[in-house]
């Protein structure tokens, strides 16, 4: 991405933050393979994002933050993801959990969570249930009323960055209604290391068990309302776009460098490679344009409900497609663990699994069109 290709309506101070993210992304790219190999959380990267001021910039101004737009957030996530998608995954979840919890607990706790976030404390989302899958907003586990709040015995899984989190956002059934809480992990909260995965290995999205954990009444959050800032919704398409950027860059570098023995020319001179790269980059540009449009409409408060789902779907699919093309162009060389091509292919699978998955998104979009009262053209 060049700065000239940034959306023109971004404010100057937002461009400054995007430049900061671009510099950090280059540094993150240097160590991404090591963190992936070790399946280790890139803690230094997350600290660098905080120290640079990016965490604070995306907290709403009403809570003492910089009030960065969803459009700017998307650009920053895409850049970070191109450098190290596990860092971007944990960071999107961190910003989303902190912004949501800060906004929705002000009646009880004032700016407690916002202050903790600005001070560098870490947040994670414990929403997905083992039996619930993609239906992460519809918990099936109930908490029992006790003095001071509610008690939960159960588990959540795929909680990105949970092992370094100071606070978890958790949802449970109270009086049969999905209800959110902020939880400070204590000795009743255990992390079970299930995260030995194909891709996004350094996000360490583990299983978390709660053994009689107290959900404190004052840390109960109001439900999310339409129009609330939603950094996770805004960040999931750019997470895949960044992986697609990195995958395309790696396969182009390989196609330029690898000489075809029978022609004596680089792979890049083969017409099938040129056609495939043209198609892939055009689909990527389309997904980027659609995502930016969706984020602009989020900022303007005019987004229709399916917009972000469509953006995520396009971005998830183009990332997978380019990841697969990398394997074709890369040949056995790209298949080696030492090649970035295989890592991008593996990472590209993850976005389409994250809620809402590619299939769930298609179900929602298809149902909305096929079951709408009036046929839409």
Ligand X SMILES: Cc1cc2nc3c(=O)[nH]c(=O)nc-3n(C[C@H](O)[C@H](O)[C@H](O)COP(=O)(O)OP(=O)(O)OC[C@H]3O[C@@H](n4cnc5c(N)ncnc54)[C@H](O)[C@@H]3O)c2cc1C
Q: Which spans of this chain sit near ligand X (rule: CB under 6 A)?
A: 89, 93, 124-128, 133-134, 136, 158-160, 200, 203, 205, 350, 353-355, 357, 359-360, 363
Looking at the Cβ atoms of 134 and 281, the one nearer to ligand X is: 134
Looking at the Cβ atoms of 88 and 251, the one nearer to ligand X is: 88
Looking at the Cβ atoms of 134 and 209, the one nearer to ligand X is: 134
Minimal CA–CA distance to 70: which of 221, 226, 228? 228
The single-letter DSSP state of residue 296 is H
| Nearest approach, Cβ of residue 8 and ligand X (Å) | 33
| Nearest approach, Cβ of residue 215 and ligand X (Å) | 16
| Nearest approach, Cβ of residue 263 and ligand X (Å) | 40
Looking at the Cβ atoms of 150 and 158, the one nearer to ligand X is: 158
Looking at the Cβ atoms of 17 and 356, the one nearer to ligand X is: 356
| Nearest approach, Cβ of residue 335 and ligand X (Å) | 22
| Nearest approach, Cβ of residue 67 and ligand X (Å) | 24
Looking at the Cβ atoms of 90 and 267, the one nearer to ligand X is: 90
Minimal CA–CA distance to 339: which of 271, 265, 257? 257
For residue 317, what are the contacts with CB-CB under 8 A and spacing of at least 6? 352, 358
| Nearest approach, Cβ of residue 201 and ligand X (Å) | 9
Contact predicate 65/118, CB 8 Å: yes
Give 99's Cβ-side CA count (13 Å radius): 28
Looking at the Cβ atoms of 22 and 200, the one nearer to ligand X is: 200
Helices (H), the chain: 12-38, 43-52, 54-57, 70-83, 85-104, 106-109, 112-118, 231-257, 271-300, 307-335, 340-348, 358-370
Q: Return the bridge partners of 156, or none.
A: 208
| 142-171 exposure pattern, b = at least 16 Cβ within 10 A, e = fewer | ebeeeeebbbbebbbbbbbbbbebebbbbb
Contact predicate 139/132, CB 8 Å: yes
Separation of alpha carbons 141 and 173, rounded Å: 6
| Nearest approach, Cβ of residue 252 and ligand X (Å) | 26
DSSP string, 149-185: EEEEEEEEEEETTGGG-SEEEEEEEETTEEEEEEE--
Looking at the Cβ atoms of 128 and 155, the one nearer to ligand X is: 128
End-to-end CA, the chain: 34
| Nearest approach, Cβ of residue 157 and ligand X (Å) | 7
| Nearest approach, Cβ of residue 135 and ligand X (Å) | 7
Q: Return the bridge partners of 192, or none.
A: 207
Widest CA span in the chain: 77
CB burial of residue 67 (10 Å; 0-12, 13-18, 19+): middle
Looking at the Cβ atoms of 6 and 173, the one nearer to ligand X is: 173
| Nearest approach, Cβ of residue 178 and ligand X (Å) | 13
Contact predicate 191/207, CB 8 Å: yes
Looking at the Cβ atoms of 282 and 363, the one nearer to ligand X is: 363
Residue closest to ligand X, measured at CB: 133
């Amino acid at each position: 991405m060049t700065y000239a290709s940034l959306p023109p309506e971004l404010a100057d101070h937002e461009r400054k933050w995007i430049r900061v993210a671009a510099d950090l992304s280059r540094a993150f790219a240097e160590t991404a393979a090591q963190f992936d190999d070790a399946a280790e959380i890139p803690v230094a990267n997350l600290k660098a994002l905080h120290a640079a001021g990016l965490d604070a910039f995306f907290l709403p101004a009403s809570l003492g933050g910089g009030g960065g737009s969803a459009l700017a957030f998307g650009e920053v996530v895409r850049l970070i993801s191109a450098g190290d998608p596990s860092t971007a995954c944990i960071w999107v979840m961190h910003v989303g959990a902190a912004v949501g919890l800060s906004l929705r607990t002000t009646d009880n706790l004032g700016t407690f969570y916002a202050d903790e976030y600005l001070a560098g404390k870490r947040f994670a989302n414990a929403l997905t249930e083992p039996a619930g899958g993609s239906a992460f907003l519809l918990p099936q586990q109930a908490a029992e009323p006790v003095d001071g709040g509610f008690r939960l015995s159960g588990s959540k899984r795929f909680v990105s960055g949970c092992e370094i989190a100071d606070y978890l956002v958790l949802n449970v059934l109270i009086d049969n209604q999905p209800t959110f809480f902020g939880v400070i992990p204590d000795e009743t909260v255990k992390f079970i290391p299930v995260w030995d995965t194909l891709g996004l290995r350094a996000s360490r999205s583990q299983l978390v068990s709660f053994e009689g954990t107290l959900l404190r009444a004052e840390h109960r959050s109001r439900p999310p309302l339409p129009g609330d800032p939603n950094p996770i919704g805004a960040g999931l398409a750019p997470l895949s776009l960044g992986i697609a950027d990195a995958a395309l860059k790696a396969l182009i570098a390989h196609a330029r460098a690898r000489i075809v023995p029978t022609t004596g020319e680089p792979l890049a001179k083969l017409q099938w490679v040129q056609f495939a790269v043209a198609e892939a980059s055009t689909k990527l540009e389309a997904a980027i344009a659609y995502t930016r449009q969706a984020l602009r409409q989020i900022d303007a408060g005019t987004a229709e409900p399916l917009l972000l789902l469509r953006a995520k779907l396009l971005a998830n699919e183009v990332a997978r497609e380019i990841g697969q093309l990398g394997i074709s162009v890369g040949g056995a060389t790209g298949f080696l663990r030492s090649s970035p091509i295989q890592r991008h292919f593996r990472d590209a699978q993850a976005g389409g699994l994250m809620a809402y998955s590619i299939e769930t998104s298609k179900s929602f979009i298809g149902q909305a069109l096929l079951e709408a009262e009036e046929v839409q053209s």
